[in-house]
Chain A
């Protein structure tokens, strides 16, 4: 089965890359963008017996750095 993981910076953690992307969008003439936060997206192909706890451990131990990042797991 397929699992999607979104990793995003925690609120309050400054995101210089998101800020640069925001400025670039403005430079391209796109109006109305209030803020940009950059993150990471993973797609995992896993066996059906991989548990939610396993997936959570994968995120906490490797896919995200929980000092600065949150993660969201979705089975699709």
Chain B
């Protein structure tokens, strides 16, 4: 399994993501710089990490979504390569229109940093197949712009198509319908505000994020 972590200026969860990928695959990911125009040959899993790419200039994720490497990420996503965007990575995927909707300033205006309870809404996707539908998991959130917005027709469509992967069990940031994670129509791109890579070791206070990586990286028995 060849994995890659995209690194932008201002990314700060790229090493945590690399640890999660290496823990599960036994192999260190390629760290790919935003100015690169190609992914390593044979990359079969791409992660966009959390952080504050480009200092959140213009809008969170806006500049990163127009960086050279995102064209390669979009091409890979179109070929079916799994792409996981966490926190700022979710913002980048939404800005790049690889996922529907937008992530706005938290409704309470405050940065939210705590462990959130999530409900697994879709347990059939390649990222969530190791969870049970309706299961509650606990995963840290740490963001200022996590307030998911999409127009009502889009919300109805993604709900109807089972593309809401995770929902906050209680309101966290004002997200429409408490949506915490969204899949693309093909199911190979997942964006989520909570940080599964911060819940893979008992020292983190919980390991509920581990199964996401195990399922997505195909190491489940």
Instruction: Decide: A65 and B102 in contact? CB cutoff 8 A.
Output: yes
Which residues of chain B are within 8 angstroms of A61 by Cβ–Cβ distance?
66
One of A16, A17, A68 near B174 (C-beta < 8 A): A16
Instruction: Decide: A16 and B105 in contact? CB cutoff 8 A.
Output: yes
- A contact residues, range: 10 to 19
Cα–Cα distance between A62 and B70 once the two chains are bound (Å): 14
Which residues of chain A are within 8 angstroms of B94 by Cβ–Cβ distance?
67
Which residues of chain B are within 8 angstroms of A17 by Cβ–Cβ distance?
105, 109
Instruction: Decide: A16 and B109 in contact? CB cutoff 8 A.
Output: yes
Cα–Cα distance between A42 and B95 once the two chains are bound (Å): 19
Contact with A along B159-187 (1 / 0, CB 8 A): 00000000000000010000000000000
Instruction: Decide: A67 and B174 in contact? CB cutoff 8 A.
Output: no
Which residues of chain B are within 8 angstroms of A20 by Cβ–Cβ distance?
109
Would you list which residues of chain A between 1 and 22 have a CB under 8 Å from chain B?
A: 13-14, 16-17, 20
* Complex: chain B residue closest to A61, CB-CB: B66
Which residues of chain B are within 8 angstroms of A68 by Cβ–Cβ distance?
102, 104, 149
Task: Tell me whether B218 is interfacial, beta carbon within 8 Å.
Answer: no
Which residues of chain A are within 8 angstroms of B95 by Cβ–Cβ distance?
65
Tell which of A20, A62, A67 has the most Cβ of chain B within 10 Å: A67
Instruction: Decide: B62 and A65 in contact? CB cutoff 8 A.
Output: yes
Which residues of chain B are within 8 angstroms of A67 by Cβ–Cβ distance?
94, 100-102, 149-151
* Complex: chain A residue closest to B59, CB-CB: A65
Which residues of chain A are within 8 angstroms of B102 by Cβ–Cβ distance?
65, 67-68
Which residues of chain A are within 8 angstroms of B106 by Cβ–Cβ distance?
16
* Complex: chain B residue closest to A9, CB-CB: B104
Task: Tell me whether B126 is interfacial, beta carbon within 8 Å.
Answer: no
Task: Tell me whether B142 is interfacial, beta carbon within 8 Å.
Answer: no
Task: Tell me whether B108 is interfacial, beta carbon within 8 Å.
Answer: yes
Cα–Cα distance between A13 and B149 once the two chains are bound (Å): 8
Task: Tell me whether B81 is interfacial, beta carbon within 8 Å.
Answer: no
Task: Tell me whether B107 is interfacial, beta carbon within 8 Å.
Answer: yes
One of A13, A16, A62, A65 near B108 (C-beta < 8 A): A16
A65 to chain B, nearest CB (A): 6
B83 to chain A, nearest CB (A): 19
Task: Tell me whether B58 is interfacial, beta carbon within 8 Å.
Answer: yes
List residues of chain A with CB under 8 Å of any chain B CB: 13-14, 16-17, 20, 61-63, 65, 67-68
Beyond the given pairs A62-B58, A65-B59, A68-B102, 4 more chain A to chain B contacts, judged by CB atoms under 8 angstroms and listed by A's residue number, are: A62-B62, A67-B100, A67-B150, A67-B151
6 contacts between A and B (CB under 8 A): A13-B104, A16-B174, A65-B95, A67-B100, A67-B101, A67-B102
